[in-house]
Copies of this chain bind each other. A is one copy, B any other.
Amino acid sequence: MTDALRQSWKDIRDIIHARITDRRYAPGDKLPRDEDLAAEFGCARSTVHRAMQHLAELGLLERKRKGGTIVRADPIARATLDIPITRLEVEATGASYGYRLESAQMEPAPPAVLARLGLKGAGPMLHVLALHLANGRPHIFEDRWICTQTVPEILAVDLTRQSANEWLVRHRPHTQYALQVAARAADAALARRLDIEPGTPLLVMHRTTWWDDNPITTVRAVTHPGYALHMAG
């Protein structure tokens, strides 16, 4: 390959992307083999491969061994949400962070919680209720269940000083997660905890994490009014 023709995988990616956009490769179409494209562009196959990988991750292409590469008929837009430790999220806005543990005790988990964790039955788990504050005002209320079978170390942590959120993120990375986001009206208990009027619309997130099929924790995080998730890319 002469240096003059050297192409980066991003160049290749953009060329393919453009051909999809302008229907030269239409939805459902089969693209040439990586090797043929490499020949066309005068680059190595691995460079084409990398570009294709990226477009496949974006949801524009579908790739199968032997089946070749196909333009997805129904493109999917993907957005990535970054979920920082709550304390850092608050401090990043310049606000002062506060944390108040309401309770932490071993309890049998209700069926809804077991279902979210993918368990049929289980012994008692650690149930934590806590409030995160920003500038002294309620920011996020969390109702969390922690599988002490998977994370026994949590029992030795002083949760009045460090949030379960922070400890878990720092000490128990996960391999799987599920996250649901919905809008709900504050009931009486939430209204009291967040110091707002009952009925106020709130963003509610259910987040569950696993390490190789072993459930770690599931949390219902209720944000204060006006909270918004931001995603960009």
Chain A residues with a Cβ under 8 A of chain B: 17, 20-21, 27, 59-60, 74-85, 88, 169-174, 176-185, 199-204, 225-233
A228 cross-chain contacts in B, Cβ below 8 A = 180-182
CB distance from A56 to the nearest CB of B (A): 14
CB distance from A91 to the nearest CB of B (A): 10
Report yes or no: B177 in contact with A233, Cβ–Cβ below 8 A.
yes
Query: How far apart are the CA atoms of A173 and B74 in the complex, in Å?
Result: 12
A60 cross-chain contacts in B, Cβ below 8 A = 173
A27 cross-chain contacts in B, Cβ below 8 A = 170
Report yes or no: A232 in contact with B185, Cβ–Cβ below 8 A.
no
A182 cross-chain contacts in B, Cβ below 8 A = 203, 226-229
CB distance from A177 to the nearest CB of B (A): 6
Report yes or no: A184 in contact with B170, Cβ–Cβ below 8 A.
no
CB distance from A50 to the nearest CB of B (A): 10
CB distance from A101 to the nearest CB of B (A): 21
Query: How far apart are the CA atoms of A204 and B202 in the complex, in Å?
Result: 11
Query: How far apart are the CA atoms of A171 and B21 in the complex, in Å?
Result: 6
Q: Out of B76, B172, B226, which one reaches A21, CB within 8 Å? A: B172
Q: Out of B17, B75, B179, which one reaches A79, CB within 8 Å? A: B179
> A83-B79, A232-B178 in contact; A17/B184 too (CB < 8 A)?
no
Given contacts A59-B82, A79-B179, A179-B230, 7 further A-B contacts (CB under 8 A): A21-B173, A75-B173, A79-B80, A79-B177, A178-B231, A181-B203, A181-B228
Report yes or no: B80 in contact with A181, Cβ–Cβ below 8 A.
no
Chain B, residue nearest A223 (CB): B183
Query: How far apart are the CA atoms of A40 and B27 in the complex, in Å?
Result: 45
CB distance from A179 to the nearest CB of B (A): 4
